[in-house]
Copies of this chain bind each other. A is one copy, B any other.
């Protein structure tokens, strides 16, 4: 990588077109983009103006919007115009929404009128919807065309399309009536009408569907693109598999952060300022602090018990910690299982039974270990018994609550990832203490 950057810097100084072509011919656009970000700004501009426009646009697709804008803004106008026209519409939408509206307005003047209108429509859809993510660079055909006409059409408009794997058949109002894959067109006998081979009622999504749902549909049906339609079935664009893979990554990242007890960051880690990280974390920390504060009330309630048997205090962190750990194991497993659809609300009873049983065996094991620990700490054997039995109950309790809560939230259409590890830990801390001290009072007769 270091070598490549150095090599390109030297070639750019010579400005020898042949050497540059030789250099890029061995690399993928993604690799060239990774090298480009390491160059000085002037070098970037020279490079993008020298390589073929189509390659230049492909490289730009892999850059962050800020850098895309810098290049498009500083390069000569004729390049700005041709690059923009080669870039895919979803990239342009993302770029225009990431920069200042004034800057966006200026860039949009480089687009032809009808293309600008389309871009404007896409920009107006809500964030994280299928409409916002769609690209208009797909291939459309008419139902009465023959496969030969369709292939001719692909040859004519193919290089502008983001994906040629599917051809979408539209009706007179622009409504989606069917889809046919390029494979089927090629395999069909010459003269076959598209109407004979199209898939009618194709899988599609409406513009306002959430991007995560679109990604699920794509991965269930093993597609490489899904058509996006308006509510009147007019075709708006397509979602491509590469964009939806990014969505899958983003949504998993969000769930991770939620399960860790933080609000999702929305941006990559280093894009968040200290103040930004603070804001995302402090909310839940405070809520959990207030919820956890009642452990103080519980402990004060048992102040006399505690004064009489100070050894009981030694096991407080151990017992509530074990409860929290069990809860955390169960909750992450179930939140994820709900997210990927392995578990449904209807499975509640099955999950309940499974978790109570697993919790029982875990509790027995932990109880025995707790007894051994109490023995080695040299405390009264009765206290040891209290700790062991508490461990059993706390583990069962924690795994049950952690299994059931996310399912109820899912049913109530609240994101189950709200029940984070810290949330369950906090919930189990106070209730665990009540279990512990109640058992202590009963068994130790205090």
Contacts and interface: CB of A to CB of B under 8 A. Distances in A.
Contact of A321 (B28, B295, B335): B295
Given A299-B314, A369-B289, A325 B259 contact: no
Given A30-B222, A425-B324, A366 B245 contact: no
Contacts of A411: none
B256 A259 contact: yes
Interface in A311-340: 311, 313-318, 320-322, 324-326, 328-337, 340
Interface in A247-304: 248-249, 252-253, 255-257, 259-262, 265, 268-270, 274-275, 277-278, 281-282, 284-286, 288-289, 292-293, 295-297, 299-300, 303
A154 interface: yes
Contact of A322 (B154, B201, B292, B373): B292
A159 interface: yes
Nearest to A313: B313
Interface residues of A, number: 113
A208 to B, nearest CB: 22
B350 A270 contact: yes
B326 A281 contact: yes
Given A26-B201, A297-B377, A285 B324 contact: no
A343 B271 CA distance: 11
Query: How many of these chains are in the complex?
Result: 2
Contacts of A295: 314, 317-318, 321
Interface in A356-386: 357-358, 361-362, 365-366, 369-370, 373, 377
The A contact surface, by secondary structure, is helix
Interface string A403-439: 0000000000000000011100110011001000000
Nearest to A262: B329
Contacts of A183: 158, 164
A388 B324 CA distance: 24
10 pairs of A and B residues whose beta carbons are closest in the complex: A260-B332, A295-B317, A222-B242, A325-B422, A421-B421, A262-B329, A252-B252, A296-B314, A269-B337, A256-B336
22 contacts: A25-B200, A154-B186, A158-B187, A159-B187, A164-B183, A164-B186, A261-B329, A265-B333, A274-B357, A277-B358, A285-B325, A289-B322, A292-B317, A297-B377, A299-B313, A299-B316, A306-B310, A307-B307, A313-B313, A313-B316, A320-B321, A328-B421
Interface of A: 25-26, 28, 30, 151, 154-155, 158-159, 164-165, 182-183, 186-187, 200-201, 203, 218-222, 224, 241-242, 245-246, 248-249, 252-253, 255-257, 259-262, 265, 268-270, 274-275, 277-278, 281-282, 284-286, 288-289, 292-293, 295-297, 299-300, 303, 306-307, 310-311, 313-318, 320-322, 324-326, 328-337, 340, 342-343, 347, 350-351, 354, 357-358, 361-362, 365-366, 369-370, 373, 377, 420-422, 425-426, 429-430, 433
